[in-house]
Structure 1
């Protein structure tokens, strides 16, 4: 009776291999991480993909893109100053210099933006593929949408956030989509649409400027153009900073969670010669015992046959040995 009680107690207090939380035999899965009872953190035979390096690359690229966007968005303040100096000196070359000075910032921002997009697509695909090796994960979209979702027109307004939401839920053990995902995507949409609207408005305003200003009115038109452009850039800039900050936090959290789970699933056996043997996790087969020459593991203990008695070995005669 005591044995049955102890066994029942051990079953009630079995711990999940993924999160370490206590599980109940009344449930088929862990209430914390949703890993099915008795399943390892990572399914054997299913490949996983490192996300640490790409996660750090995404964080760095997004941070650089945000800094460059600040320079591009606030550059009209510099253009307004140069336009006033051009009016004071009545020098159109200063206006041309203001236009040319903005070009390097735009090129650097475009390169950083493209780099961030490529790295984000790769990281998303790898993180989504890892879900296939996590018992209990329930992704709603296939891994192919982790790439196609960013590239297909119109679908790129909905699919990427659904893929990232699934990755965040299954990696961070959430039953609902984390708030960070919604904030990131809303800010991203505001930035994307706001930047395009601001660009179209700047283009129309620039076309109305006099090509060769000969008086103060012409130069003042350039000053007003840069001032209006600065105001139009404020909303997309704020949205860009919010999107960048939330994405950086989200990528870091998901990357750390997936790396920790993959590390839990990495077998720590068999050990190198001379090392103490490591026990296999619950539910996994034990490590094989290395065999000696001809498959012999070592001397076997003496087996006592039925009805036989084993007596202690008698000492031999003095000065001799058995069989000598």
Structure 2
């Protein structure tokens, strides 16, 4: 016997598949339970995550440009360059925020669908309900642990693994470093920027802007690396899980028509014990009323029952006839 999910050979001592944990004899997907397509949504979520990852880099690496603009402002005594640097950094962050919001919505929907699907996979052992696929991202403090557990369940039961894939740990560790570090770095940058002179008038005040951008570069480079690792690993994870689930759902759908030469419903076959079906009798044409025979005329009055009727044959000749007279 082979497992209908992964195709491995059954073990004589273990009722469950050694590779994917599916009980032998079970179909790839349990009938009667709702399932959801994830390939298209997974592609959209992966694209959004990739876009947010790429769009974060220009804002994170802006201190390289800000340092040059601050030095040019100090050399020319142009305060407008400093204001232009602040506005440019703000504008570079807007596309990233839009892409991040889009990615967050798509990822939450994808996580919920993927979590619902594994309820229909025989042998799956999720530890958290489908509701946590949404609430886990939104509840404070829980969002440091719950999303990783939900995605770990999805990855194990979708990729036919007994243990959590290492890619889940890489993604979540990088995401925690990025999300927590981004908040800390942003708060530190805001405090240091608030201490700068709004309208610098001498070289010392202009140089404080140069040092501000130089100090901001180190932390943002670390965040850029964490963002790249988290974004790339999560895109790969979404693509793998979506493909695995969609292939498993496709194996549970029967092919139609049943065979390549199918053209329509076949004629019913009579059982072997039943003889040939007799042909139906030919229909009999109705006889017209005009061709019906006329009724016999009534017998003449006084005739007995032995008297011949006009339609009876004549009696045979008896002896004593004219022959021999």
Q: TM-score, normalised by structure 1?
A: 0.81
Q: 2:105 aligns with which of 89, 94, 118?
A: 118
Task: Give distance in 2, aligned partners of 1:105 and 1:145.
Answer: 33
Task: Give distance in 1, aligned partners of 2:147 and 2:193.
Answer: 35
In the TM superposition, residue 55 of structure 1 has moved relative to its aligned partner by: 1.0
Structure 1 residues 240-319: aligned runs within 5 Å: 240-269=227-256, 271=258, 275=262, 297-301=268-272, 303=274
> Number of residue pairs matched?
275
Q: 1:56 aligns with which of 43, 61, 64?
A: 43
Q: 2:66 aligns with which of 62, 79, 83?
A: 79
In the TM superposition, residue 124 of structure 1 has moved relative to its aligned partner by: 0.5
Tell me which residue corresponds to 2:116.
129
In the TM superposition, residue 36 of structure 1 has moved relative to its aligned partner by: 1.0
Tell me which residue corresponds to 1:190.
177
In the TM superposition, residue 139 of structure 1 has moved relative to its aligned partner by: 0.6
In the TM superposition, residue 214 of structure 1 has moved relative to its aligned partner by: 0.9
In the TM superposition, residue 269 of structure 1 has moved relative to its aligned partner by: 4.5
Task: Give distance in 1, aligned partners of 2:273 and 2:157.
Answer: 55
Q: State the superposition RMSD in angstroms.
A: 1.9
Tell me which residue corresponds to 1:34.
21
Q: Does 1:104 align with 2:54?
A: no
Cα contact 2:174–2:227 (8 A) shared by 1 = yes
Which secondary structure state, in structure 2, belongs to the residue aligned with residue 149 of structure 1? Answer: helix
Q: Does 1:19 align with 2:30?
A: no
Unmatched tracts of structure 1, length 5 or more: 1-13, 278-289, 305-324
Q: Which has the larger radius of gyration?
A: 2
Task: Give distance in 2, aligned partners of 1:167 and 1:144.
Answer: 14
Task: Give distance in 2, aligned partners of 1:189 and 1:91.
Answer: 40
In the TM superposition, residue 98 of structure 1 has moved relative to its aligned partner by: 0.8
The C-alpha deviation readout for 1:271-301, integer Å capped at 9, x for no partner, is 4996179xxxxxxxxxxxx586xxxx24444
Q: Does 1:172 align with 2:159?
A: yes
Unmatched tracts of structure 2, length 5 or more: 276-325
